[in-house]
Amino acid sequence: MRGFALLLMAMGLAPAAAEESDARLRYACDPGMDAPRLELMAGDTGGAPVVLGDGVEWIDVAPLQRFDDRTDPRSGQRLRAGSETLTRRCGAYTVEIRAGFYNPDPQGEMGGAPAYPIVGISEAGRGHIGTFAMGVCGASNPRYSYLVQCPSDWATRVLVVGAPAVRGTMLELRRAHDDIRLLAPLPPGASP
């Protein structure tokens, strides 16, 4: 069965593992005449796209990561120090795209996980709309909130639509997050 799945992936008929797309952001801009539309999606997790056409770009944020000259004394690995910023404009909207990470130490807890996109959105004349990590987060693991609060500031898709001067701006967030809940312990002598 595994061989069949690998064959389908090689032929492009099955989706790649989620980890391979974690660092990819689908940026779509339709500046429009009256109402610009901006859509940002995390890899393949955001559902069916709304904004289509020539203004679609896939951005890999992994190369934006910056590493410090310092190294972890235990592993000898260089530590993550932040991210370069990539800027895109869509009508009245400005998007700043950075690489996020769960742990500055690549050998630490979740340190080896792929980078993920973080987007900051602002609107001309209005200022900052919000900053969102793009992807699915695990609400019970504090590593997901290292740079951006999980689940409140994570989204699989961000859609911004509207003519700011005419009828205002609409911000739509599609979200998904994992949550683990511990159940009450079993009474003494009980078996599962």
CA dist., res. 147 & res. 150, Å (int): 9
- Compute the average pLDDT of residues 32-40: 83
- Compute the average pLDDT of residues 92-98: 94
For residue 187, being part of any structural domain is answered with: no
Tokens representing residue 169 in the block: 């701006």
For residue 138, being part of any structural domain is answered with: yes
Alpha carbon of 57 to those of 86, 117, 123: distances in Å?
Answer: 13, 14, 20
For residue 3, being part of any structural domain is answered with: no
Nearest CA-CA partner of 75 in 113, 114, 112, 116: 112
CA dist., res. 14 & res. 170, Å (int): 34
For residue 36, being part of any structural domain is answered with: yes
| pLDDT score at 10 | 37
For residue 30, being part of any structural domain is answered with: yes
Amino acid at 135: G
For residue 149, being part of any structural domain is answered with: yes
Report the range of poorest mean pLDDT among 32-36, 61-65, 112-116, 128-132. 32-36
For residue 15, being part of any structural domain is answered with: no
Beta-sheet pairing, 127-134 with 137-138: unpaired
**Cis, peptide link before residue 63, omega less than 30° from 0:** no
Number of domains making up the chain: 1
Mean pLDDT of the chain: 80
Supply the range of the domain harboring residue 46. Answer: 21-177
For residue 154, being part of any structural domain is answered with: yes
90 vs 164, more confident: 90
